[in-house]
Structure 1
Amino acid sequence: MVLLGYALAEKGWFDDKSSHLIARLVTQVALPCYMVHTITERFTAQELLRMIPNLRFPAVSMLLLLALAMVIAQLFAVDKSHRGLFVSMFFNSNTVFVGLPINQAIFGDESIPYVLIYYMCNTTFFWTIGTYLIQRDGNQTVQFSIKDSITKIFSPPLLGFLLGLLLVLLNIKLPGFLVSDLTYLGNLTIPLSMLFIGLSVSKAGFSQMRFQKDNLLILLGRFVISPLFMVLILSVTDLPDLMKKVFILQSAMPVMTNAPVVAKLYGADSDYAAVMVTETTLFTVVVIPLLMTIVS
């Protein structure tokens, strides 16, 4: 499906409006419906309550990555014009557009709650610490708005997850026609996400790829250090095997697609962010099969 999205984009099927529309359909319509349907149809209240405390494992991993990224930025003299952006991209990953479809394709629907746990932690870190760091690179006065951060964190996908969780906890059964609608709309999530990845790769183009020091350090952080940290943290736990595999896979996802948007908004180095989104997304095609061979 990724290859199909890439091929169609190369043939001129999509323009900027098309990619924006697909992104909005996934994040604001399909994915929230997918969350509600999956949570309410496949999990009990006891199962979900047991999983929520496991937020601490991705949180610990991200805090360690954050600290390490700051040290690496100093030791390797990362360009000061995008040092905050570097740190943000080093410890945050794309857990929805890339992480969700890949986990669902490999592990099935049983992996979705674990994907969402990691997503909750990741999106909180990005829209607070990550965004603050990116602002520091820009040409505007650094401001931290709790209201704006909360608005970004409680995005439609997370609200869909929370609604599904509430329905399960309250033992509320949705009517059949509504379940059917949620199923149809939710089933758009994976194919549209895959097409969007192919479209994004085509739009970015291979010509932008360049392997300079700062770029290589991000690749090292995303695909080697981050999953290694997660493996080490999980090695001393008795979590379910599937949860461990999902967390490890999520930790090795590419750079957040929101990074260039936020960088441009605050006058930071958005070109650098766009290049890193492209490079890490392309490398995911190679890294994920290798990673799954190792952890399986």
Structure 2
Amino acid sequence: MLLLQQMIIMFLLMSVGFVGSKIGMITEETSKRLSAIVVNIANPAMILVSGISDERMEGRELLSLTVVILAIYAVLLLLAYLLPALLRVDPKSRGVYQAMTVFSNIGFMGYPIIAALYGSSAVLYGALYSIPFNILIYTFGVSALRKKENGAEKKKLSLKEVLNIGVITSIISLILYLWQIRVPGFLTDTLSYLGNLTAPLSMMVIGASMTSISLRELFTDVRLLLFSLIKLLLIPVFGMLLIRQVVTNEVICGVFMIMLATPVGSMTAMLAQEYDGDYETASRGVTLTTLLSVITMPVVSLLLF
């Protein structure tokens, strides 16, 4: 029921963007401006809020979970280079497939489901999982999603581009958490309000992009369908079988399962549009995996728990 509710909310937000595009209220230029707001204001604010928490973990628990999380991302990054080659992805779209392999919709779908299933205290595990995510999406993600020429980067990322707003706020968020720095309530509330813009704005932009996507073509794209099944079924199932060998806490295992099983994160499409990358493929990937996750997430849960 919870998953269904989240999907309904997501589709309603996408529908607003779809209708807005159809009636001319959301133009291509509007979508780009909304993407810029998400990438440079809303999502960084959400990252900062994730570091402001009264909940704390013991040092040994924090260390062991950090090792497991880093191992998960190491495997995902390896798969990000292997899958596009195995699926024979066009060089123009290779970076998008790499980003879609690593980055899932952990913010909008992951956190609410974790909170409802395991309580608000379990969200802390999700926040810990999101720290490498936030750093990687603004470094590896930007590099993979930015405009390519003949399958190669137009130019290498400069130091200024690497030290972008996302990376800087991720570092600040980590410092806030590790040093337990207290932040005034009014500032926390302001950041929360800004962070809450991430989900609706990103879903509206995705919805607007659907006006140029044929659902028939979407579900007949064999390569994208195969990728989606690998992303939504094989990776979470086999990933959790390995994680269970080293993690015995059922709540933590449940959190990791949710994080791995969620569809492609909408930030992949936002960044692709912001950096003039293959926005169409990124939008198709977000849309298709979101639609399929209504079925795949319950299936993964039943198989593992």
Asked if residue 203 in structure 1 is aligned to residue 211 in structure 2, the reply is no
Q: 5+ unaligned residues in a row in structure 1: which ranges?
A: none
Matches of residues 196-235 of structure 1 in structure 2 within 5 Å?
Answer: 196=201, 199-200=204-205, 202-205=207-210, 207-209=213-215, 210-211=218-219, 212-235=221-244
The answer on whether the counterparts of 1:84 and 1:136 sit within 8 Å (CA) in structure 2 is: no
Matches of residues 44-193 of structure 1 in structure 2 within 5 Å?
Answer: 44=56, 46-47=57-58, 50-135=61-146, 137-138=148-149, 141-154=154-167, 156=169, 159-160=172-173, 162-167=175-180, 178-179=184-185, 182=188, 186=192
In the TM superposition, what is the alpha-carbon distance from 1:262 to its structure 2 partner?
A: 3.5
In the TM superposition, what is the alpha-carbon distance from 1:197 to its structure 2 partner?
A: 6.6
In the TM superposition, what is the alpha-carbon distance from 1:188 to its structure 2 partner?
A: 8.4
Deviations, residues 167-197 of structure 1 (Å, cap 9, x unaligned): 26xxx6x7xxx4487469748867x666457
In the TM superposition, what is the alpha-carbon distance from 1:141 to its structure 2 partner?
A: 2.8
Cα distance change on mapping 1:57 and 1:19 into 2, 3 Å: same
The match for 2:261 among 252, 262, 271 is 252
Quote the RMSD (CA, aligned, Å): 3.7
Quick check: 198-207 or 60-69, which moved more? 198-207
In the TM superposition, what is the alpha-carbon distance from 1:86 to its structure 2 partner?
A: 1.6
Deviations, residues 214-255 of structure 1 (Å, cap 9, x unaligned): 312330232023212421321211342211111121112222
The answer on whether the counterparts of 1:134 and 1:263 sit within 8 Å (CA) in structure 2 is: yes
Distance 1:129 1:66 in 2: 9
The answer on whether the counterparts of 1:34 and 1:186 sit within 8 Å (CA) in structure 2 is: no
Amino acid at match of 1:257: S
The answer on whether the counterparts of 1:104 and 1:111 sit within 8 Å (CA) in structure 2 is: yes
Distance 2:266 2:104 in 1: 9
Distance 2:304 2:193 in 1: 28
How many positions carry a matched residue from both structures?
283
Q: 5+ unaligned residues in a row in structure 2: which ranges?
A: 1-8
Distance 2:285 2:13 in 1: 20
Distance 1:189 1:111 in 2: 20
Quick check: 143-152 or 113-122, which moved more? 143-152
Distance 1:279 1:215 in 2: 8
Quick check: 129-138 or 233-242, which moved more? 129-138
Deviations, residues 4-51 of structure 1 (Å, cap 9, x unaligned): 535655675985489669847753546634642xx22xx24x536632
Over the matched positions of the two proteins, sequence identity in percent amounts to 20
What TM-score results when the alignment is normalised by the length of structure 1?
0.75
1:268 counterpart SS class: coil
